[in-house]
Amino acid sequence: MNFAIKNGTAAPSNGDQFTLAASTPVASTKLTFNSATNTLSGFPATANVTVTNGSAVTTYPAGSNVPFTAGSTISFNGASFTVTGSPANGDVFNIAPNTNGTGDNRNALALATIQTKNLLVGNTTTIQGAYAQFVSLVGNKTAELQVTSASETKMLAQAVAAQQSESGVNLDEEAANLLRYQQAYQAAGKLMQIASQLFDALLTLGR
């Protein structure tokens, strides 16, 4: 809640008491348009009137005739309204409380516009659009990582194969070589056995 306390030109003194109350309810007000002066008259004599037109905000004293600008927002006593178009001289606008406003769905409509209003990514897309972009980004990044992982796995296999071809040991090849060397050793042993037998036979014949 914002409020200002004024006591003439003097500051409040010790012990002063101030009572805060709800704003004055909007009473029925009849505004009349005057085409000659392009003004609206009939505002309450006890309420200042504020006119907002884009970024320009102008306040008029209570009871003043207020210049009319189509599309501007007029506020007084806590009520705000906008008049568009070109009113004719003598047109009357009745401003009154909405006593049967239980069916007023402005908040629901404002909430519904969030679905189609560009609010995200620098006000360039809707919530649905931003969600779709996020899902697409996650999918693309996942596919990219899968391709990268497959490529790196292939490169690793090639590197391991190259390393093994230079310094690795092929167990099948080594087993075959061992069997070959074993057979050669056995053959050499058999040859030595036969040579020894022949030598013994020659010695026997010479006696």
Establish if 61 belongs to a structural domain: yes
Structural domain boundaries enclosing 52: 29-95
Residue at 67 is within a domain = yes
In a domain, 83, yes or no: yes
Identify whether 91 is part of a domain. Answer: yes
Side-chain-side CA neighbours of 11 within 13 Å: the count stands at 1
Report yes or no on 192 lying in a domain: no
Q: Categorize the per-residue pLDDT at 2 as very low, low, confident or very high, splitting at 50, 70 and 90.
A: very low
User: Does a structural domain hold residue 112?
Assistant: no
Q: How many domains does the chain have?
A: 1
DSSP string spanning 173-192? HHHHHHHHHHHHHHHHHHHH
- What percentage of the chain carries pLDDT values higher than 90? 36
**Mean per-residue pLDDT, 136-160:** 94
70 lies in some domain: yes
The length of the chain, given as a count of residues: 207
- Residue 104: predicted pLDDT: 67
Residue 64 forms part of a structural domain: yes
Closest to 38 measured CA to CA, from 92, 87, 95, 93: 87
For the chain, give the mean pLDDT. 83
Distance CA 75, CA 52 (A): 8
147 vs 149: CA distance, rounded Å: 5
